[in-house]
Amino acid sequence: MDNTRRKFLKIAGAAALAGIGAPALVKLNSTAAFASSEPAAGHGSAAGGHGEVVAATGVRLGMVVDMRKFAETPEMLDAAIAACYKVHNIPHFPDRKNEIKWIWKAPYANVFPEQEVLHKSEMAKSKPFAVLCNHCDNPSCVKACPTKATFVQPENGIVAMDFHRCIGCRFCMAACPYGARSFNWQDPRPFITSYNPDFPTRMRGVVEKCNFCGERLALGLEPACVEACQGSGAMVFGDLNDPDSEIRKVLDKEFTIQRNPAAGTRPSVYYIV
């Protein structure tokens, strides 16, 4: 191969990369797992304006679960779970097969199986961890859904469900790397202990999960679980894209971990262990 031709191919290849490959490359750079909350301003221009720039102004809601606080007052976690169940008309099924879970308790080893170690701290060994939907930035459930019944709300980053549209194929349940989704195998109403008249129940045959209390946020309220923690800081909720928010201050100060970051879904829930 002569020199000029090789040069030409090189240039052509680089151009093709910049033109076609750039969006994917830029996305990967700008939003790596742990930097998932960072707005990607600046990265896009480096690749010649081809990048998909995440708006710095967009709201991206997230949560920090401070396990130290929950370890001090374990009943607070129970209160948070109870609050969620009450507000959202979640049924209590006696058997594991039918369980509907929005926020629940599980040991460290189950919540962080990829980060399981032999010699754990006392907390990781014995305390139950809060588990809920991660409201990922790149949710695999949304990718899988064939009807857009589950989708990311562009206004706040919540991974929401439209129960009216769900066909019950359960592809999202197979796709979620966090086991955050539940299916109504039968009519849930007989298993609901008390109704919240401000929220619907679900019908059989649809998938459900934590909605970050979208309906409460609209009224200016905090999520029910956060409210149940009564300002203890066990659950901090806020805009991950706002550098002055309380949640960002906590994240700047404390070392946090996330569930299965290797899945590339970029969760919005952080844990202080």
Partner 1 sequence: MYNKGTIIPGLVIFIVFVTFPLWYNGLNAGTVPKPDLPIGQKECVAPAAEMRDNHMKLLNEWRDAVLREDDRVMVKVGGKEYRKGLQMACMQCHNDKEKFCDSCHTYAAVQPTCWDCHLTPKEAASKKETH
Partner 2 sequence: MIEKVLKGKSTYWTWLAVLGTFIAIGAICYIRQYKFGLGLTGMSRDVSWGLYISQFTFLVGVAAGGLMLVLPYYVHDYKAFGRITILGEFLAISALIMCLMFIMADLGQPLRGLNVIFFATPHSMLFWDMCVLWGYLILNCLCGWVILTAERKQVHPPKWIYIFVYISIPFAVSIHTVTAMLYCGLPGRHFWLSAIIAPRFLASAFAAGPSLIVLACLVMRRFANFDAGKEAIQKLTTIIMYAAIINTFFFLLEFFVGYYSEMPGHIHSLEYLFFGLEHDGHVYNNLVPFMWTATAFSFTGLGILFYMKIAKVFDYRLVGIAAALIFFSLWADKGLGFVFGGFVPNPLNEVMEYIPTANEIGITLGIWATGFFILTLLYKIAVGVEHEIEA
Q: In whole angstroms, give the CA distance from residue 214 to residue 152.
A: 12
Q: Specify whether the CB–CB gap between 270 and 61 falls below 8 A.
A: no
Q: Please report the DSSP string for 176-211 in residue order.
A: -TT---EE-SS--GGG-SS--TTS----TT-EE---
Enumerate binding residues for partner 1 (CB under 8 A): 86, 89, 151, 153-156, 160, 162-164, 192-203, 214, 218-219
Whole-angstrom distance, CA of residue 134 vs CA of residue 175 = 13
Q: Which is nearer to partner 2, 108 or 216 (CB)?
A: 108
Residue 212's binding partner among partner 1, partner 2, none (Cβ under 5 to 8 angstroms by kind) is none
Site string for partner 2, 73-112 (x = CB under 8 A): -----------------------xxxx-x----x--xxx-
Q: Could you give the CA distance from residue 120 to residue 117 in angstroms, rounded to a whole number?
A: 6
Where in 147-166 is the site for partner 2 (CB under 8 A)? 147-149, 165-166
Cβ at position 72, least distance to partner 2 in Å: 25
Minimum CB distance to partner 2, residue 120 (Å): 15
Q: Based on CB atoms, which residue is closest to partner 2, 145 or 247?
A: 145
The C-alpha angle with vertex 50 and arms to 46 and 53, in degrees rounded to 5, equals 80
CA 131 to chain centre: 10
Residues ≥6 apart with Cβ < 8 Å to 171: 144, 145, 146
Residue 31 interacting entry, from partner 1, partner 2, none, C-beta within 5 to 8 Å by type: none
Report the nearest approach of partner 2 to the CB of residue 204 (Å).
Answer: 4
Query: Cβ of residue 265: shortest distance to partner 1, in angstroms?
Result: 21
176 binds partner 2 (CB under 8 A): yes
Burial classification of residue 268, based on how many CB atoms lie within 10 Å of its CB (0-12 exposed, 13-18 middle, 19 or more buried): buried
Fill in the DSSP letter of residue 132. Answer: E
We find the least distance from the C-beta atom of residue 177 to partner 1, in angstroms, to be 25
- Residues near 260 by Cβ (< 8 Å), separated by ≥ 6? 112, 113, 114, 177, 178
How far apart are CB 261 and partner 2 at their closest, in Å? 11
201: partner contacted, choices partner 2, partner 1, none (Cβ within 5-8 A by kind): partner 1
Task: State the residues that interact with partner 2 by CB under 8 A.
Answer: 96-99, 101, 106, 109-111, 113, 131, 140, 143-149, 165-171, 173-179, 182-187, 204-207, 260, 263-265
